[in-house]
Amino acid sequence: MNTSVTSIKLVLLGEAAVGKSSIVLRFVSNDFAENKEPTIGAAFLTQRVTINEHTVKFEIWDTAGQERFASLAPMYYRNAQAALVVYDVTKPQSFIKARHWVKELHEQASKDIIIALVGNKIDVLQDGGERKVAKEEGEKLAEEKGLLFFETSAKTGENVNNVFLGIGEKIPLKKAEEQNNANEGESNNQRVDLNAANNGTSANSACSC
């Protein structure tokens, strides 16, 4: 077993009230235990996941979804290795906003940032609610832009873990060789340098989108 831990900064983006925080809270909900690492409400959380014998520590940064704070988002997603762009499947406007975030991330975030597009609140559909964003639309956007795609329910927990596992598997984890050669800069031994480790473990990616 490799006991090294790779930290991944993951930023949450999406319109207000699409369920960004709920998804993360669901993801870490098993660990609201005594020995929890310090958090800042649901705005900053950490969670460790072991993927293919490698431990990934997600540092999850929430962003304010209100439109007035949109311009502040770059401050949060700088140096992020992964982003979750969340929309509400019952709110078409939130999907439009998601498109904007994807575009902005591609333009301004780290070059190889891994983006997962997440359509949340699918439980509402099971309760008789009307879907306003077709799954195919999300899939199409994901395909066009090279994103991971998931539909989730933070309420029931459906598919939530898969989102993070999918990201974890796609992150190019540093090998020992790269670690030894790590030079100064943003990257260091336990932080993933997306630009340096492009050829990492892409073969491992097995997203079920």
| Dist CA 121 CA 138 (whole Å) | 14
Q: How many residues bind another protein (CB under 8 A)?
A: 74
Of residues 61 and 95, the one with the C-beta less far from another protein: 61
The interface mask with another protein, positions 31-50, x = CB under 8 A, is: xxx-x-xxxxxxxx-xxxxx
Binding test (CB under 8 A) with another protein, winner from 3, 127, 128, 130: 3
Query: Considering the complex, what minimum distance in angstroms separates the CB of residue 178 from another protein?
Result: 10
199 lies in the site for another protein, by CB under 8 A: no
* CA-to-CA dists, residue 91 to 53, 97, 155, angstroms: 39, 10, 17
Kind and range of the H or E run holding 7? strand 5-14
Q: Would you say the C-alpha torsion 13, 197, 8, 80 has a positive or negative sign?
A: negative
Cβ neighbours of 197 (radius 10 Å): 19
Query: Considering the complex, what minimum distance in angstroms separates the CB of residue 128 from another protein?
Result: 21
Query: Considering the complex, what minimum distance in angstroms separates the CB of residue 133 from another protein?
Result: 20
77 lies in the site for another protein, by CB under 8 A: yes
Between residue 119 and residue 148, which ones bind another protein under the rule CB under 8 A? none
Of residues 30 and 96, the one with the C-beta less far from another protein: 30
- Where do the H-state alpha helices sit in the chain? 20-28, 73-77, 92-108, 123-126, 135-145, 160-170, 176-180
